[in-house]
A and B are shown apart, each in its own frame.
Chain A
Amino acid sequence: MILETQNVDEPLDSEEETSTARRQLRAGTTLANRYHIQEVIGVGGMGSVYRARDLHFPNVVKLVAVKEMINLAPDPLVRRTIVQNFEREANILATLNHRSIPRIYDYFSEEDKSYLVLEFINGKDLEAIIAEAEGFLPEDEVLAWAIELCDVLHFLHTHKPDPIIFRDMKPSNAMINQYGNVVLVDFGIAKPFQVGQKGTMIGTEGYSPPEQYRGEATPLADIYALGATLHHALTKRDPRLEPPFSFAERPLRKINPDISGEFEAAINTALQYNPEDRYASALEMKEALLAVARKTGALSRLPTHTTAAMQSNAIKPIWAFQCEDEIRGTPAIHDGNLFIGSYDNNLYALDASNGEFKWKYATDGGIVSRPLVYDNNVYFGSEDNRLHVVSARSGKVTWTYYTKGRIRSSPRLAEGHVFIGSDDNYLHAVNITSGRAAWIFEASSSIRSTPFVAQDLVYTGCESGDFYCIGFQGELKWRFQAKRAVTSSPWVADNVVYFTSLDSTFYALDAQTGWVIWRARLGKGSISSPALVDNLLFVGAADGNIYAIEAHTSKEIWRFRTEHQVSSSPVIYRDSLYCGSVDGFLYCLEYTTGRLRWKFATEGPITGSPLVFDDIVYIGSTDHHIYALLA
């Protein structure tokens, strides 16, 4: 990426250059044929910051922040320095990939101005949140932000090749976005840090540590400033109005007695006068704060009022489509079409982009089975006992296959066969060219679990609690008995099969032999199917929780509490987890921490699972609707 700065260096037209305000762009101006300016959202030392709409996305409103730098300096050397500072900010930001750092999309120059196009953070800065809060901010909330700030500082401090010292940690540089997460803004003075180098003295008075006033900027300076920021957030006492380094004279709990002793101690450690007495690194501080959170239970609680208020109006569906009865299942997408079964007995095909009806196919029973699309055919089971195969384009029947019981299992395809369970107690392996059974396997009860195929072996659970591993000829390889039904669909990775049971246990079995590698206890039974990403397993349970469990150790990483049973199976997309709950909400969580990003209310319990494709989440609800939402 090259910053076009040649225009900036050209002589300025002296008549116009009197004040920044006069030079501000008006709403309605379009920059670089692409960014449609909406309004000024901030004024900085070098120019203004605008909210703009990116016109390259005509169908959705994509907002960006455009940061402007006006070059007013008469001295060419100073002008060049300003451009270099701007370039530096752009280059640093462009290489940083962290969820608490705004993404940089573009930078360019027009006439004597340079522009940086950044992710638009829909939210408020912490300084405004502190000022507007009626009482003190809740400890849980501040603690969660503190942990995120430690995480991003650690990311910066361990940046390669050179550590980055933020140098200006203060409430106004921490934006809280609409999901309640922290985003660090204003990297104007952040500077790659070379050990032993004496940096320039920059940093906001009141938040900076003593040594920064001697021109030393180190990771430990950022830790002090973070401590100062947290102190301000919890006490509402602005350190800029107090003598420097006087935090010890304003003990946290004396001002705000609701703070836990543990949190106070952690902040005091960060605020130590001598750098060597502080946390040795942001990672160490983060771990200390996580220990506080575990002790006070802060992380498992829902975000409180401040963030919840910001979310209430944030989520609107792109489209919604209404069926004549409940949707209890999960959709599938193929070639721009969305397929979903309903308890009005129909399978619907909709245009995924706008929800327009394309066709429907009527069966004689409710459809909970998740459709599967292969070779232009849609495969799905129905409670009319049949496996249906219909053309994905026209919705005309290709063939059907009869079982002797209702089908609630979903089809799985491998090696020219479709595998599906039925309430007739059999697992059916059906040849897709002939539409006939290659073999059937008798289980001890109904099979509602969806089979998983890995390395020529088929895995499925059944309602009596038996779990089977079946060879490709239909022969039993091994059997395992859980104490209650296994409705959950298994997931196999690295030779381990994962599933849950109504006996309140999450199982990890050796996929070749069925030996139990570990068992993790859930609060109640589960019919949710696990998802595996980055060695983390995610699953819902009837106790209302969504759990994240480490796959090699079975250690719980976090749990998120919804208001009712979670039968839905979590789906991971980018850095988010999506999952429905019987409380009627679709939840979007940050999958590494379990923090709520947003939730979307439907009018009925959600039992099916979301589908995410191309940045859009699709979710069916028993309120008869299927919704499409921006992920």
Chain B
Amino acid sequence: MIKFFKKLFARPETQPDNVTTAPLSEQQIESIVQTQGPLYDLQQLNAGAGQSTGKQRELNEDSLLSITTTLAGNSGNLPFGLYIIADGMGGHQYGEVASNAAIRTMGGLILGKFHPYMFDLPTKVMDESIQEIMLAGVKDAQNIVQHEAPGSGTTLTAALVLGRQVTIAHVGDSRVYVVRPDGRVEPITRDHSLVRRLEELGQITSEEAAVHPQRNVLYRAIGQGDALEPDIFTVPFPQSGYLMLCSDGLWGVITEDDISKAVLQAPSLHRACQNLVTAANTAGGPDNISVILVQMLG
């Protein structure tokens, strides 16, 4: 009987534990993409998210937004996704107030712009570019944080997926990664941190950066300083693999190898996010952990 239940509910034990992480050739990747192609006749987004306070903090100062839907357009239903992570700055009062206000403000502004394409609600027709909307979102977040939680700060990293493009707005040291099916994990944002800057200038190595005592010092954050210049850029959504947003409670704690294993070996995106959170906590969980994984199917 137990055997029978095991058969029914146990995960298949053929989980490949010898998954090769050597880079695939472009040809192999292409063939993987092609075999995935016919399964979905419509492009669609799939997303998962995970959060944890971690093992050493008492409060969760991270905030997270994950919305996945489609928009009606003249070329059919268009994948639409809005994903934001904000990491309220430790050592500041009201870190969680700042991260939360930033996300609510930016999310509200962006969704408001897309109202007419999503719901039948009276909204002004959009006459701005996607990058202009993202910039407006960051600026609004900046204003609200300075007003509601003066003296505090937060990172803010947002990804807006529309069709096959993803537009990123980014301030601070939360990160966006592309996780490839062959195991490569590539950050596509640049941290606005002192240590990262030193690393870019060739002053310290990445090994030194990982253990640098000042690795948490940001030179750009929401709520800090008057002139805020976010990084805003648009790139093609990764055709295969995943887009990952996370706070430094994840990337600062586990290696890129751990990330690719946790993501690629999981049966679902939600499970992958849980694996990532667990891995960070197992490694000590020194900080709040937030992660979002997004995949384009079809």
A residues near B, CB below 8 A?
A: 157-158, 280-281, 283-284, 477-478, 494-496, 508, 510, 512-513, 515-519, 552-554
Contacts and interface: CB of A to CB of B under 8 A. Distances in A.
Contacts of A553: 131, 231-234
Contacts of A554: 131
B236 A495 contact: yes
Interface of B: 73-75, 78, 128-132, 162-165, 167, 201-203, 231-236
19 contacts: A280-B201, A281-B201, A283-B201, A478-B74, A478-B75, A495-B164, A508-B129, A510-B163, A512-B163, A512-B164, A513-B163, A515-B163, A517-B130, A517-B165, A518-B131, A519-B129, A552-B233, A553-B231, A553-B232
Given A494-B236, A510-B164, A552-B233, A516 B128 contact: yes
B78 A517 contact: no
B73 A513 contact: yes
A280 B75 contact: no
Contacts of A552: 233-235
Nearest to B43: A512
A516 B129 contact: yes
Interface centre among B128, B163, B165, B235 (most CB of A within 10 A): B165
Given A553-B131, A553-B231, 16 more contacts: A158-B202, A280-B203, A281-B203, A284-B201, A496-B234, A510-B165, A512-B164, A513-B78, A513-B162, A515-B130, A515-B163, A517-B167, A519-B129, A552-B235, A553-B232, A553-B234
B165 A495 contact: yes
Nearest to A550: B233
Nearest to B235: A552
A519 B129 CA distance: 6
- Nearest 5 Cβ contacts at the A-B interface: A552-B233, A516-B129, A518-B131, A553-B233, A518-B129
Nearest to A553: B233
A283 B202 contact: yes
Contacts of B74: 477-478
A352 B1 CA distance: 85
A508 B235 CA distance: 12
A279 to B, nearest CB: 9
A559 to B, nearest CB: 20
Contacts of B163: 495, 510, 512-513, 515
A515 B231 CA distance: 20
A40 to B, nearest CB: 41
Given A495-B236, A510-B162, A552-B233, A281 B202 contact: yes
Nearest to A507: B129
A497 to B, nearest CB: 11
A512 B202 contact: no
B189 to A, nearest CB: 12
Given A281-B202, A495-B165, A518-B234, A512 B75 contact: yes
B20 to A, nearest CB: 28
A303 B202 CA distance: 32
Contacts of A280: 201, 203
Contact of B132 (A158, A284, A494, A518): A518
Nearest to B231: A553
Contacts of B233: 552-553
A284 B202 CA distance: 10
Given A510-B165, A512-B163, A552-B235, A517 B129 contact: yes
A343 to B, nearest CB: 39
A231 B175 CA distance: 43
Contacts of B78: 513
Contact of B162 (A157, A478, A515): A515
Nearest to B130: A517
A515 B161 CA distance: 12
B75 A477 contact: yes
A331 to B, nearest CB: 34
A422 to B, nearest CB: 26
A114 B231 CA distance: 53
Contacts of A512: 75, 163-164
Contacts of A519: 129, 132
Contacts of B201: 280-281, 283-284
Nearest to B200: A283
Contacts of A494: 235-236
Contacts of B202: 157-158, 281, 283
B75 A513 contact: yes
Contacts of B231: 553
Nearest to B131: A518
A494 B74 CA distance: 21
B1 to A, nearest CB: 54
Contacts of A281: 201-203
* Of A158, A508, A513, A519, most B-chain CB atoms within 10 Å: A513
Contacts of A283: 201-202
Nearest to A476: B74
A295 to B, nearest CB: 15
A272 to B, nearest CB: 16
A517 B75 contact: no
Nearest to B117: A515
A517 B234 contact: yes
Nearest to A469: B75
B84 to A, nearest CB: 19
A117 B231 CA distance: 46
